Amino acid sequence: MSNRSPLKSQHRAFLYRSLSSYLRGVFGRALRKVPVDPGFGCPNRDGTIGTTGCSFCDLDSFVPTYARSGKGPADQIMDAFSGKSAQPFIVYLQAGAGTYASPDAFRQVVESVFRIPGSIGLFIGTRPDCVDESVLDVLNPYLGRKLLWLELGLQSSSDLTLDRIGRGHDVEAFIRARSLAMERRIPICAHIILGLPGEGKGEMVSTARFLSEHKVEGVKIHHLQIIKGTRIEEEYHLGRVKPLDHNVYPALVSEFLKHLPPTTVIHRLLSDAPDEMLTAPKWPQRSRVIQSIRDHMTREGSFQGKKWRERL
């Protein structure tokens, strides 16, 4: 892996540092990210922390069909590639909490995905309160040999909001997990949601500034989607939650990005739950929304880090 910075080659056109440009900088090529379900479940659903989960969550909206088979992660990957030999790819432990397991069970999953030819990286989606020394020890043999990222669900830097959406952990839990990962030099991608109940632009910008202060290496931005059958759908039907309009989203994302350092890797700009699972909001195609964000940023001369620089 080289440490070339893709920022250099993109200097003039830089709006934000996308995951694809980061991966091209590291590997010299685009890579497929293959989501799999490690089958560990979630403590916010199995009764350890809660039984109803986060108010916005439907686990099935996170994973593709092949990952819902109940097979182990390695078999899910083979199904994703229809049994053919794969180009280099990255495995993404998604659905539930990807480190919510004993160290032995977690090790088995990690070893099984890295035994597959072409598997050159592992991104692990998990909850901040499911990260401790014992699971990070499992990753030690791969540090520097494989591309490893921890994707931590934060959603908001406000404890009030986290409580309202039933996360079952506080912001402090994120800070602790971030610090443990930093000691091992494992990069963190924070998952956040724009448009959560009770939050306006000020709260969302505060989250961006929080991520900047804690020097997270990556951010995955979602817009709040109301998924059928979730608790937040009930709030939506009662008029207590109003999803964002796609026309205001480009300005909001642009503002958010301005407060992040230009080096932060932007893994995603919006959510994309399958249409049949979605109650609201019904937005144009993902590619059109991304283009609207880019157009907005270009028009207003905005770029990732614009306001972060002003604070230096």
Residues that bind ligand SF4 (CB under 6 A): 42, 44-45, 53-54, 57, 59, 96, 127, 153
34 or 232: CB nearest ligand SF4: 232
The candidate with the shortest Cα–Cα distance to 280, out of 244, 240, 231, is 244
38 or 153: CB nearest ligand SF4: 153
Least distance (Å) between residue 153 CB and ligand SF4 = 5
54 or 289: CB nearest ligand SF4: 54
Classify residue 81 as left (phi > 0), alpha (psi -120 to 50) or beta: alpha
59 or 280: CB nearest ligand SF4: 59
64 or 118: CB nearest ligand SF4: 64
End-to-end alpha-carbon separation of the chain, Å? 31
The secondary structure of residue 86, as a DSSP letter, is P
Least distance (Å) between residue 178 CB and ligand SF4 = 17
Decide if 91 contacts 36 (C-beta within 8 A): yes
Least distance (Å) between residue 293 CB and ligand SF4 = 24
The beta-strand segments (E) located in the chain are: 32-36, 89-93, 119-126, 147-155, 188-194, 218-223, 226-227, 265-268, 278-280
Least distance (Å) between residue 53 CB and ligand SF4 = 3
* DSSP characters over 147-208: EEEEEEEEE-S-HHHHHHTT-SS-HHHHHHHHHHHHHHT--EEEEEEET-TT--HHHHHHHH
Least distance (Å) between residue 233 CB and ligand SF4 = 14
76 or 94: CB nearest ligand SF4: 94
Least distance (Å) between residue 49 CB and ligand SF4 = 9
CA angle 149, 152, 158 (to 5 degrees): 145
